[in-house]
Amino acid sequence: MQTVGEIKQIHKIIREQKVNGKKVAFVPTMGNLHAGHISLITKAVEAGDFVVSSVFVNPLQFCEGEDYGEYPRTLKEDQEKLKDAGCDLLFAPPVSEMYPRAKVTNVIAPAEITDTLCGLSRPGHFAGVTTVVTKLFGIVQPDIAVFGKKDFQQLAVIRRMTEDLSLPIEIIGMETVREADGLAMSSRNSFLSEPDRKTAIAISENLKKAKAQIESGNKDFAAIEKSGRAELESVGFVVDYFTVREQATLNNATIDDRKLVILVAAKLGSTRLIDNIDFVL
């Protein structure tokens, strides 16, 4: 696996691959990789001929007071994991390479899909996501891009952006990879204290409970949301949202919707965790 940090290097390598008829599959990350990330690489290896990943902690998507400075940087370990998983090329640029000017051209997705859920509590976050992903798509020029469903709103925003901008890229969403006890794998899990780590499984447990209620015929979504929030608050979470939505639009679910997703964002101590469960009735 080759690691490069300059955009012009990536362009040269990708041009050679395209000339040779290779299908380029791309997995963007912020590093500190775990098994969830590696599952995305595995899918990219399966779906493409030449696999590119990126490790870039994007300052634009961190809001004021968030953990940009503390976000784990583990490039050496990440390189080994990517190499072992079959990645062909790693793009690991410095901030100055990605954003050489103080003022950046932003790509902003429609408000109805970004000014809700995480977008309400993290203003500007999704503009940072869409901007960096659009830039990475332009740099790597992939045929396929693979993202995890754990960041379900992010995946929905990227799908919408890709469609609206007519980008010739197939977006693949992969199921969330979980620890043995059900906790969704996340780079931020390392911030949890030992007691909080044990408490954190309440998120996945309450998601499964809410899903079972809906599948059994309960369509009182407001009551299900209220109960889920209360359950998490009772064990120490500060809940941002516990909500039932329609998958594609992220609008509040109605009794006629069939493709649903239950989403949670909550803080345990100083660590903000997100998770979701999607299903079809």
DSSP H or E run through 2: strand 2-4
Rounded to whole angstroms, the Cα distance separating 245 from 261 reads 5
For residues 63 and 102, the answer to whether their CB atoms sit within 8 Å is no
How do 238-246 and 170-174 pair as beta strands?
A: unpaired
CA 142 from chain centre, in angstroms, equals 18
Maximum alpha-carbon separation in the chain: 58
**Which one of 11, 34, 37, 125 is the catalytic residue?**
37
For residues 214 and 225, the answer to whether their CB atoms sit within 8 Å is no
Give the end-to-end CA distance of the chain in Å, rounded to a whole number: 43
How much is the CA Rg of the chain, to the nearest whole Å? 19
What the block records as the tokens of 91 is 């793009």
- The percent helix, strand, coil of the chain (3-state, each to 5) is 45, 20, 35
Which value, to the nearest 10 degrees, does the dihedral of the CA atoms of residues 15, 103, 27, 193 take? Answer: 160
Rounded to whole angstroms, the Cα distance separating 134 from 6 reads 17
What the block records as the tokens of 234 is 């009772």
Is residue 34 annotated as a catalytic residue, yes or no?
no
How do 144-148 and 24-29 pair as beta strands?
A: parallel
Angle at CA of residue 174, ends 171 and 177, nearest 5°: 155
Catalytic residues: 37
